C-alpha cells in the first residue's frame, strides 16, 4: 500500500510541477501544419517556401531576434476551433491564436477575445497601415480583435503545359479562361478531348470548405443577397439552384477530378493530372517552386488567375483572411509587451507571408518592389477589390460551411436532388442560427 | 466464527468507499449535471437559461441526429457479427499450441495495442485516393478507382474495415480461452463416436462456449456503439453525413456548434438507448439461466 | 507448421490444417496495411510526391526516422500516454479490488442496493457524462494535468464488476481459515485474497491499460496544451492536413515510431498477456 501511495504522490507531483522560466513565454497556437523536420531550425525566412515553412521560419527568426522571449508553438489540426473552444472553456487558452476573419465574430460576441488596439498602439502600429479588406475583417464594434495577416480567395491555378496541349492558350502565352458557364463547359470538353485529362482539379471529397466557398462565389457573381439577415440564410432561390446545378454539371460532364480530398487534390495538380486546380492563394508559392524545377508536370508552365466571372451579375470571389487574436486571459505586462513585439514583427514581415500567395494585409507591402516582382501577382491583384466575405455579423460561419459542404456535396455527387439539398441546408443553418 | 465473519458491519463498507466516492463524483454527479444542462440553452462558456424539454424536441426533430443514430445502429449490426465470426474462426483455427499458431495469435492481437490515431493513419494511407495502397493496387490491376472514404456506403464500410482490423484480437483471445476450458472428455467421447468435425463443432464446441459468444457480443456492441475516433479521423462523418456516428454528432453539436444543451440532450438519449439495451439483455439472460453460476 | 501429434490432443478436432491456411492468408491481409506504412516510411517525401507506387522501387532511406529524432515531439507524447495509462491502470486495480472484495465476500448495510447501483453504472456510456465532466473539471482546474487525464475512467464500473465475480469464485474455506487466526479484515484481503486474484488483476490491468492508451475523446478536450498531449492526440494534431504537413513518408515514420514501444512491450509480455486474457476473462 505504501508503494501505491508513493506512486500516486509521484504522479501528483508530475501533474502539478511548475515550469520555471526566466524568459517571457508566449503560447502561440496555430494551424498551417507542422514542418519541424524541414524548418525547425531555419531562421532565414527567405529560404522558406509555403505557409508552414514560412510561418515556422518567421517564429524562429522572431525568437532569435528577441532572446528574452520564448514562443511556445502548438500546431493544431485545421482549423482548430473545437480545440480552442475546449481550451477557452477550461481557462487554458493560449496567448495568441490563428483565426479566420470569418470566425472572429463568434468569439468577439461572447467576449472571449480581447481588442488588440492598445497592444498595437503601444508598438506604434497604426490601424490604417492595414488594407481596408484586412481591417474590416478583424474590426467589430469599431475595435480591432485580431492582427490581420492576409486576405485570401480561391483561385484558378493553371497548368499551362496541359492548356497548350488543349489549344487553350492565347498567342501571348496567357491561358484562355471561360467567361460564362457555357464557355467553361465547352473549354472543359475541349481540354478533356485533347489531353484525356479532367479540366478542373477540385477538392470534392472529405471536405466541406471548398463547396461552401465555391457556392458563395457563384452566388455573389449573381448578385444574390443570401444573408440579408445575418440570422437567416436564403438558399431556396433560383440563383442558388443555378449555382449548385453549375457545380453538378461540371461533375456530371466529367470535367473535374472526383473523389480527391485536399492533399490528393494538391498533389494531383502538381503531378499534372488536370488542367486547372480550384484552390486557394496559399498554394501559389508551392506551385511556383514546382514550376521552377525541371522535370515536374508544372515545369515552366504554371500561372494563376482569379476564379473567372461566370455570371453577368458582377465579378466577385468569396474571400476571407487569417489573423492573430488574443484570447481573454490574465497576462503579465511583460507578456503583453512580448505579444506586441511579435505582432509588430509579423506585420513588418507581412511581405514574407505574402510569398505564400496570400494577399498582404499591410498596405505598404503592395508598394514594395520585392512584392511586385513576385510571379503572377499582377494577375490576381484584382481580388483585393473583387474579394468579398460574408456579412461581418454572421456567426458560426465554420459550422455553416460544414452544413453547406455536406448538403451541396450530396447534391453534386447525386445523393440528393439540388432542391432537396438546398432546402435541407437552409433549414439546418437557420435552426443553428435561431438557437445561438 | 464463520457467522461472525459474515455478519453485516458498517466497517466492511469502508472497502467500497473509495470506489463509491469516485463513482458518485465522476459518474453519478456528471450524469445528473448532464440532465440539468440538457434542460438549458447553454454554450461552453457560461450560464444559460432554462428551456425545459426544448433541447430534446430539437434533437429528436433533427434529421442529422436520426441519420447518426441509424449509422451507429448499422455500424453495430455489421461490425459486431463480423468481429464475433472472424474472432471465433481464428480461435478455432489457432486452438493448438505450436510455434506457428502462437505466432499467428500474437499477430492478430498485435493491432489491438495501437492507438486509434495510428490505426486511422494506417488505414487512411490504405484508402486515400491516388496515393493509397488500394488505389495503387486498383491501378495495377486496371480497375477503376473507388472513393473509399468519400462515397456513401463505402465510407462507413471503410471505417468498419479499420475497426474490425483494430478490434479483432480481443474476441479471438476470449474465444481461445473459452475453447481451452472445454473438458477434453467431451471430445474424447466424440472421437470414440467417430463424429465428423462439423458435428463436433455444432454439438460440442459451440454449445460449450455459448456464454462466451454472448459475452463477446455484448462487449462489442457496447464498444462499437461508441464509435467516434475512427470516423472523425478517416471520413469526418462524410459524405453527406453517411458515416457520422451518434457520438460524433454529440461532439459536433457541443464543441463545434457550441450548443452544449442540445449535445447534453443527445447524450441523455444515448444513455437511455444503452440502458434499454442493457435491461433487455438482462431480462433475456435471467429468463434463460445458463448451467453454471 | 506442426508435426502430427502422436498423443491424442482434443484441440486437433477443432484446429486443422485448412483452417490454419485460411488463418495464414488472413494474417497476410492483416499485415498488408502495416507493410505499406513501413514501406512509405522508408521512402523520401520527394519520391512519394511522384507517386506512392515508388514504394516498390529503390532507393530507400531512413531520413524520415532521423527527422523524427531531431524534431518530433513523439517522445513527450509517449511519456504522457505512459503516465496516464499506468496511473489509470493502478487506480482501477486498487479501487476495483477493494470494492470487489467487499461486494463479494463481506456483509455491510445496503450492500445489495449499492451493488445494483454500481451495475447501472455499466450502462452509462462515457459520452453521456463527458460534457458535464468537462465543465466540472473546469471548476477544479484539472484540465491539462495528469490527474485530469487519469481520474475520469476510474469511475468505470467494469472493473468492480469483474473483480466481484472473481472474489466470489474463491472458495469460502480460505478466508474462514484465516479468520481463525484473528487476522484483520484488511490483512485477509491484502495477504490472502489479493494474491489469489493476480490473474484477474492482470486481465483487468491489460484491459484498462489498452483502454487508457487508446482513449481519444477525453484527452482531445482535456489535454489541450501540447505539453500534455497523449500520443493519440499528438499524432492526430499532425495527421489531418498532411499536404500542408511533413509528407506521407514522415507521417508514416511517425506512426511506426510511435507504435514501436508498445509493440515491443507487447512482444516481450505476449505470452503473459495471452494467458492473462485467457485465464481471466472467462469464468
How do beta strands A276-280 and A200-201 pair? parallel
Statement to judge: residues A14 and A143 lie in one domain: yes
Cell of C7: 498423443
- As for how many domains chain A has, the answer is 2
Residue C192 in domain: yes
Q: Is there a contact between C219 and C85 (Cβ–Cβ < 8 Å)?
A: no
The answer to whether C224 and C145 are in contact (CB under 8 A) is no
Summarize pLDDT for A325-335 with one digit per residue, the tens: 999 999 999 99
B122 with C33: Cβ contact below 8 A: yes
The band of B204, judged by pLDDT with boundaries at 50, 70 and 90, is confident
pLDDT above 80 (res C55): no
Strand A96-100 versus strand A24-30 pairing type = parallel
Do residue A65 and residue A168 come from a single domain?
A: no
In a domain, A74, yes or no: yes
C-alpha grid cell for residue C77? 507524447
C203 and C155 in a common domain: yes
> pLDDT per residue over B248-292, tens digit each?
999 999 988 889 999 999 999 988 888 887 777 777 766 654 444
Asked if C120 and C146 sit in the same domain, the reply is: yes
The whole-angstrom separation of Cα A106 and Cα A113 is 10
What distance, in Å, lies between the first and last C-alpha atoms of chain A? 51
Report DSSP letters for B143-192, one per residue. PPP--TTTSTTHHHHHHHHHHHHHHTHHHHHHHHHHHHTS-HHHHHHHHH
Is the Cβ pair C70, A40 closer than 8 Å? yes
- Find the mean pLDDT for residues B5-13: 74
Q: CATH number for the domain including A214?
A: 3.40.190.10
Domain assignment present for B175: yes
A176 and A236 in a single domain? The answer is yes
Quick check: C247 and C45 in contact, CB under 8 A?
A: yes
Distance from C-alpha of B253 to C-alpha of B241, rounded to nearest angstrom: 14
pTM recorded for the entire structure:
0.88
Both C153 and C28 in one domain: the answer is no
- Of A180, A155, A133, nearest to A313 by C-alpha is A180
Q: Would you say residue C119 lies in a domain?
A: yes
Which of A192-201, B91-100, C93-102 is predicted least confidently?
B91-100
C245 within domain boundaries: no
Co-location of A376 and A422 in the same domain: no
Instruction: Give the model's pLDDT for residue A1.
Output: 40
**C99: which chain B residues are within 8 Å (Cβ-Cβ)?**
15-16, 18-20
Number of domains in chain B: 1
Kindly state whether C270 is in contact with chain B, defined as any CB-CB distance less than 8 angstroms: yes
The secondary structure element, H or E, covering residue A138 is helix A132-138
Beta strands A276-280; A359-360: pairing state: unpaired
The verdict on residue C207 lying in a domain is: yes
Q: How many domains does chain C have?
A: 2
B123–chain C nearest CA distance, Å: 7
- In this structure, the answer to whether residues A21 and A112 fall within a common structural domain is yes
Nine-digit cell string for A366: 503592395
- Whether residue C228 sits in one domain with residue C130: yes
Has residue C282 got a pLDDT over 50? no
Are C19 and C150 in a shared domain?
Answer: no
Q: Are B220 and B80 in contact (CB under 8 A)?
A: yes
In a domain, B293, yes or no: no
Provide mean pLDDT across the span C251-264: 82
Instruction: State residue A15's pLDDT score.
Output: 47
Q: What is the mean pLDDT of chain A?
A: 90
Instruction: Provide, rounded to the nearest whole percent, the portion of chain A with pLDDT above 90.
Output: 76
Domain that holds residue C45: 10-67
In chain B, what is the straight-line distance between the N-terminal and C-terminal CA atoms, in Å? 26
Report whether pLDDT(A425) > 80: yes
∠ CA C204-C195-B176, rounded to 5°: 45
Residues 19-58 of chain C with CB under 8 A from chain B are 19-20, 22-24, 26-27, 30-34, 36-37, 40, 48, 51-53
In angstroms, the CA B87 to CA B89 distance is: 5
Residue B2 lies in a domain: no
Is C279's pLDDT higher than 60? no
Contact residues on chain C for A83, CB-CB shorter than 8 A: 220-221, 224
Cβ contact A409:B238 at 8 Å? yes
Interface test with A, best of B258, B263, B265 (most A CBs within 10 A): B258
Helix (H, G, I), strand (E, B) or coil at A159: strand
Domain identity same for A57 and A91: yes
For residue range C116-171, list pLDDT tens digits in order. Answer: 899 888 878 888 888 889 989 988 889 999 999 999 989 988 899 888 988 888 88
pLDDT the model gives residue C97: 94
Q: Under DSSP, is residue A119 helix (H, G, I), strand (E, B) or coil? A: helix
Q: Is residue C183 in a domain?
A: yes
Which of A42-51, A182-191, C189-198 is most confident?
A182-191
Domain annotation covers residue A270? yes
CB < 8 Å to B197, chain C: 13-14, 16
User: Where does the pLDDT of residue A6 fall: very low under 50, low under 70, confident under 90, or very high at 90 and above?
Assistant: very low
Q: Are residues A115 and A188 in the same domain?
A: no
**Cα separation, C154 vs C87, whole angstroms:** 10
Residue B29 belongs to a domain: no
Q: Which residues pair with A113 in a beta bridge?
A: A327
- Domain ranges, residue A364: 2-148+322-381
Give the cell for residue A187: 473549354
- Is the residue at A388 inside a domain? no
C127 shares a domain with C15: no
One domain for residues C81 and C60: no
Boundaries of domain holding B102? 62-287
Terminal Cα distance for chain C, rounded? 31
Average model confidence (pLDDT) across chain C: 80
Q: What is the CATH number of the domain that holds C78?
A: 1.10.3720.10
CA distance C37 to C248: 9
pLDDT in tens, C165-188: 888 888 888 777 777 777 778 888
- Asked if residue A219 and residue A171 are part of one domain, the reply reads yes
Banded model confidence at residue C277, pLDDT cuts 50, 70, 90:
low
Q: How many CA atoms lie within 13 A of A188 on its CB side?
A: 23
Best probe of the C interface among B117, B185, B251, B272, by most C CBs < 10 A, is B117
Q: How is C42-91 classified by DSSP, letter by letter?
A: TS-HHHHHT-GGGGGSS----HHHHHHHHH--HHHHHHHHHHHHHHHHHH
Q: What cell was used for C54?
A: 515508388
Establish if C45 belongs to a structural domain.
yes
3-state secondary structure of A384: helix
Average pLDDT, chain B: 86
Bridge pairing between strands A317-320 and A387-388: parallel
How confident is the model over B110-125, as a mean pLDDT?
86
From chain B, pick out residues whose CB is under 8 angstroms from the CB of A261.
128-129, 149-150
Asked if A171 and A113 sit in the same domain, the reply is: no
Interface contact A258, partner B, CB < 8 A: yes
SS3 category, B108? helix
**Between the CA atoms of A40, A46, A51 and A57, what dihedral angle is there, to the nearest 10 degrees?**
30
Over residues C32-56, the mean pLDDT reads 79
d(CA A273, CA B115): 35
Residues A136 and A60 in one domain: yes
Q: What is the pLDDT of residue A331?
A: 92
- Pairwise CA distance, residues B134 & A264, whole Å: 14
pLDDT score recorded for residue C239: 62
CB atoms within 10 A of CB B141: 7
Interaxial angle between packed helices B133-141 and B116-127, expressed in degrees from 0 to 180 and rounded to the nearest 10: 20
Strands A24-30 and A69-75: parallel
Is the predicted pLDDT of residue B94 greater than 60, yes or no? yes
Q: Does A409 touch chain B (CB under 8 A)?
A: yes
Q: Please say which residue of C26, C44, C67 terminates a domain.
A: C67
Looking at CA atoms only, how far is residue B34 from chain C in angstroms?
Answer: 5
Cβ separation A206–B151 shorter than 8 A: no
- Whether C254 is covered by a domain: the verdict is no
C109 and C225 housed in the same domain = yes
Question: Is A133 part of a structural domain of the chain?
Answer: yes
Q: What confidence category does residue A291 fall into, taking pLDDT thresholds of 50, 70 and 90?
A: very high
pLDDT for A361-380, tens place per residue? Answer: 999 999 999 999 999 998 99
Using CB atoms, pick whichever of A267, A268, A413 lies closest to residue B239: A413
State the cell numbers at A67. Answer: 532572446
CATH number for the domain that contains residue B173: 1.10.3720.10
A34 within domain boundaries? yes
Contact A260 B130 (CB under 8 A): yes
Q: Are residues A169 and A284 in the same domain?
A: yes
B262 three-class SS: helix
Q: How far is CA A103 from CA A79, A142, B132, in A?
A: 10, 17, 33
Share of chain B above pLDDT 90, in %: 37
- Chain C neighbours among B 52-91 (CB < 8 Å)? 86, 89-90
Residues A167 and A260 in one domain: yes
Has residue B110 got a pLDDT over 90? no
Q: How far apart are CA B119 and CA B175, in angstroms?
A: 24
- Highest mean pLDDT: which range of A49-53, A277-281, B178-182: A277-281
Distance from CA of A406 to the nearest CA of B (A): 5
Query: Would you put residue B215 in left (φ > 0), alpha (ψ -120 to 50) or beta?
Result: alpha
Give me the residue from A206, A396, A406 closest to B149, CB to CB: A206
Q: Which of C50, C136, C212, C244 to mutate to test the interface with A (most CBs of A within 10 A)?
A: C244
- For chain A, give percent helix, strand, coil, nearest 5: 50, 15, 35
Q: Where are the beta strands (DSSP E) in B57-174?
A: none
Weakest mean pLDDT among A387-396, C65-74, C201-210: C65-74
Q: How far is CA B222 from CA A310, B133, B243, B273, B282, in A?
A: 52, 31, 18, 11, 14
User: Residue A369 has which C-alpha cell?
Assistant: 518592389
The reply to whether residue B43 touches residue A110, judged by beta carbons under 8 angstroms, is: yes
The pLDDT confidence band at residue B293, using thresholds 50, 70 and 90, is: very low
Amino acid at each position: 500500500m505504501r508503494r501505491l501511495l508513493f506512486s500516486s504522490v509521484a504522479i501528483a507531483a508530475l501533474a502539478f510541477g511548475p515550469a520555471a522560466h526566466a524568459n517571457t513565454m508566449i503560447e502561440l497556437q496555430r494551424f498551417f501544419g507542422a514542418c519541424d523536420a524541414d524548418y525547425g531550425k531555419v531562421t532565414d525566412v527567405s529560404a522558406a517556401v509555403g505557409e508552414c515553412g514560412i510561418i515556422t521560419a518567421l517564429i524562429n527568426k522572431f525568437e532569435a531576434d528577441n532572446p528574452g522571449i520564448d514562443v511556445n508553438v502548438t500546431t493544431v489540426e485545421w482549423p482548430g476551433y473545437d480545440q480552442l473552444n475546449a481550451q477557452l472553456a477550461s481557462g487554458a487558452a493560449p496567448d495568441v491564436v490563428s483565426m479566420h476573419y470569418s470566425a472572429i465574430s463568434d468569439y468577439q460576441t461572447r467576449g472571449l477575445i480581447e481588442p488588440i488596439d492598445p497592444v498595437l498602439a503601444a508598438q506604434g502600429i497604426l490601424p490604417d497601415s492595414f488594407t481596408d479588406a484586412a481591417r474590416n475583417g478583424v474590426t467589430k464594434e469599431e475595435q480591432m480583435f485580431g492582427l490581420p495577416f492576409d486576405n485570401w480567395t480561391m483561385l484558378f491555378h493553371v497548368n499551362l503545359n496541359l492548356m497548350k496541349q488543349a489549344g487553350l492558350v492565347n498567342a501571348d502565352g496567357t491561358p484562355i479562361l471561360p467567361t460564362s458557364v457555357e464557355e467553361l463547359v465547352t473549354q472543359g470538353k475541349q481540354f478533356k478531348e485533347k489531353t484525356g485529362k479532367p479540366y478542373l482539379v477540385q477538392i470534392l471529397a472529405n471536405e466541406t470548405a471548398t463547396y461552401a466557398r465555391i457556392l458563395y462565389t457563384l452566388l455573389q457573381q449573381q448578385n444574390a443577397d443570401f444573408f440579408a439577415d445575418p440570422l437567416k440564410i436564403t438558399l431556396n432561390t433560383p440563383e442558388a439552384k443555378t449555382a449548385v446545378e453549375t457545380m453538378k454539371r461540371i461533375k456530371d460532364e466529367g470535367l473535374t477530378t472526383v473523389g480527391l480530398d485536399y492533399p490528393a487534390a494538391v498533389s494531383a495538380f502538381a503531378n499534372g493530372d488536370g488542367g486547372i486546380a480550384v484552390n486557394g492563394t496559399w498554394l501559389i508559392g508551392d506551385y511556383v517552386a514546382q514550376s521552377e524545377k525541371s522535370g515536374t508536370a508544372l515545369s515552366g508552365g504554371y500561372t494563376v488567375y482569379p476564379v473567372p466571372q461566370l455570371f453577368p451579375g458582377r465579378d466577385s470571389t468569396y474571400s476571407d483572411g487569417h489573423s492573430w487574436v488574443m484570447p481573454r486571459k490574465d497576462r503579465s505586462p511583460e507578456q503583453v509587451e512580448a505579444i506586441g513585439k511579435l505582432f509588430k514583427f509579423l506585420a513588418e514581415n507581412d511581405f514574407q507571408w505574402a510569398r505564400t500567395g496570400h494577399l498582404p494585409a499591410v498596405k505598404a507591402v503592395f508598394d514594395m518592389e520585392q512584392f511586385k516582382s513576385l510571379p503572377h501577382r499582377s494577375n490576381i491583384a484584382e481580388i483585393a477589390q473583387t474579394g468579398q466575405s460574408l456579412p461581418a455579423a454572421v456567426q458560426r460561419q465554420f459550422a455553416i460551411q460544414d452544413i453547406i459542404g455536406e448538403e451541396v456535396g450530396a447534391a453534386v455527387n447525386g445523393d440528393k436532388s439540388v432542391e432537396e439539398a438546398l432546402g435541407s441546408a437552409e433549414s439546418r443553418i437557420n435552426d443553428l442560427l435561431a438557437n445561438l | 466464527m464463520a457467522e461472525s465473519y459474515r455478519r453485516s458491519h458498517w466497517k466492511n463498507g469502508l472497502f467500497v468507499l473509495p470506489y463509491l466516492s469516485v463513482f458518485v463524483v465522476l459518474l453519478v454527479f456528471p450524469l445528473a449535471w448532464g440532465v440539468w444542462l440538457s434542460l438549458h440553452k447553454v454554450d461552453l462558456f457560461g450560464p444559460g437559461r432554462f428551456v425545459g424539454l426544448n433541447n430534446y424536441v430539437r434533437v429528436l426533430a433533427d434529421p442529422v441526429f436520426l441519420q447518426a443514430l441509424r449509422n451507429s445502429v448499422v455500424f453495430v449490426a455489421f461490425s459486431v457479427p463480423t468481429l464475433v465470426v472472424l474472432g471465433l474462426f481464428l480461435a478455432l483455427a489457432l486452438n493448438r499450441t505450436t510455434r506457428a499458431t502462437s505466432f499467428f495469435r500474437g499477430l492478430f492481437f498485435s493491432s489491438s495495442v495501437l492507438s486509434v490515431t495510428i490505426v486511422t493513419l494506417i488505414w487512411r494511407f490504405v484508402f486515400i485516393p491516388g496515393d493509397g495502397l488500394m488505389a495503387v493496387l486498383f491501378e495495377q490491376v486496371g480497375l477503376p478507382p473507388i472513393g473509399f472514404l468519400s462515397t456513401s456506403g463505402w465510407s462507413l464500410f471503410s471505417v468498419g474495415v479499420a475497426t474490425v482490423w483494430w478490434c479483432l484480437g480481443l474476441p479471438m483471445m476470449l474465444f481461445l480461452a473459452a475453447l481451452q476450458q472445454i473438458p477434453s472428455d467431451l471430445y474424447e467421447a466424440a472421437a470414440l463416436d467417430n463424429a465428423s468435425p462439423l458435428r463436433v463443432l455444432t454439438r460440442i464446441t459451440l454449445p460449450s462456449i455459448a456464454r462466451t459468444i454472448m459475452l463477446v457480443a455484448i462487449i462489442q456492441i457496447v464498444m462499437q456503439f461508441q464509435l467516434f475516433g475512427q470516423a472523425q479521423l478517416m471520413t469526418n462523418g462524410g459524405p453527406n453525413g453517411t458515416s457520422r456516428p451518434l457520438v460524433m454528432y454529440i461532439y459536433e453539436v457541443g464543441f463545434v456548434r457550441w450548443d452544449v444543451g442540445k449535445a447534453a440532450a443527445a447524450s441523455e438519449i444515448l444513455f437511455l438507448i444503452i440502458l434499454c439495451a442493457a435491461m433487455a439483455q438482462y431480462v433475456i439472460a435471467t429468463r434463460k439461466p445458463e448451467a453454471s453460476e | 507448421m506442426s508435426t502430427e501429434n502422436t498423443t491424442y490432443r482434443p484441440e486437433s478436432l477443432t484446429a486443422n490444417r485448412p483452417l490454419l491456411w485460411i488463418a495464414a492468408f488472413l494474417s497476410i491481409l492483416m499485415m498488408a496495411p502495416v507493410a505499406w506504412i513501413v514501406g512509405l516510411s522508408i521512402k523520401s517525401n520527394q519520391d512519394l510526391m511522384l507517386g506512392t507506387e515508388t514504394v516498390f522501387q529503390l532507393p530507400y532511406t531512413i531520413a524520415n526516422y532521423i527527422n523524427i529524432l531531431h524534431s518530433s515531439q513523439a517522445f513527450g507524447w509517449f511519456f504522457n500516454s505512459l503516465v496516464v495509462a499506468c496511473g489509470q491502470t493502478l487506480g482501477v486495480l486498487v479501487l476495483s479490488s477493494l470494492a470487489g472484495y467487499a461486494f463479494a465476500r463481506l456483509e455491510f448495510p445496503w450492500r445489495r442496493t449499492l451493488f445494483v447501483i454500481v451495475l447501472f453504472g455499466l450502462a452509462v456510456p462515457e459520452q453521456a457524462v463527458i460534457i458535464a465532466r468537462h465543465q466540472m473539471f473546469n471548476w477544479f482546474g484539472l484540465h491539462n494535468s495528469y490527474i485530469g487525464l487519469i481520474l475520469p475512467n476510474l469511475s468505470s464500473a467494469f472493473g468492480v464488476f469483474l473483480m466481484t465475480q472473481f472474489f466470489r469464485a474463491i472458495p469460502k474455506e480460505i478466508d474462514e481459515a484465516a479468520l481463525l487466526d484473528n487476522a484483520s479484515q484488511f490483512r485477509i484481503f491484502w495477504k490472502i485474497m489479493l494474491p489469489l486474484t493476480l490473474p484477474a488483476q492482470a486481465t483487468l490491468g491489460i484491459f484498462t491499460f489498452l483502454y487508457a492508451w487508446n482513449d481519444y475523446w477525453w484527452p482531445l478536450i482535456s489535454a489541450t496544451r501540447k505539453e500534455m498531449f497523449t500520443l493519440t492526440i499528438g499524432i492526430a494534431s499532425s495527421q489531418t492536413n498532411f499536404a500542408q504537413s511533413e509528407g506521407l513518408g514522415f507521417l508514416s515514420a511517425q506512426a511506426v515510431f510511435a507504435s514501436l514501444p508498445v509493440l515491443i512491450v507487447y512482444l516481450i509480455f505476449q505470452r503473459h498477456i495471452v494467458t492473462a486474457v485467457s485465464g481471466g476473462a472467462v469464468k
